Copies of this chain bind each other. A is one copy, B any other.
Amino acid sequence: MQDSNGITDQPELGPAEALTADKASGSREKGLNRVLEILEFLHVTQRAIGIGDLAKGVNAPRSTTYTLVRSLVDAGLLEMEGDGNRVYFGKKLYLYGMDYVRGNDLLRRGRQEVDNLSRETGETSELCMLQSGRYTIVHSSPGTRPFRISSATGLQIPLPWTASGRLLLAGLERAAIQDMVSDDDLLLPDGRRLQLDDFIADIATARTTGYCITSGLVDAYTKCLAAPVFAAAGKVEATMCLVVPIDTTADKTDELLTLLRQRAARLSIAG
Contacts and interface: CB of A to CB of B under 8 A. Distances in A.
A221 interface: no
- What interface size band does chain A fall in? 35 or more
A96 B93 contact: yes
B46 A153 contact: no
B91 A138 contact: yes
The oligomer's copy count stands at: 2
A91 B36 contact: no
Contact of A95 (B3, B35, B77, B154): B154
A39 B91 CA distance: 14
A107 interface: yes
Given A31-B31, A96-B97, A98-B153, A132 B3 contact: no
B103 A89 contact: yes
Contacts of A90: 100
Interface of A: 1, 3, 30-33, 35-36, 39, 42-43, 46-48, 68, 71, 74-77, 80, 82, 84-85, 88-103, 107, 129, 131-132, 136, 138, 152-154, 232
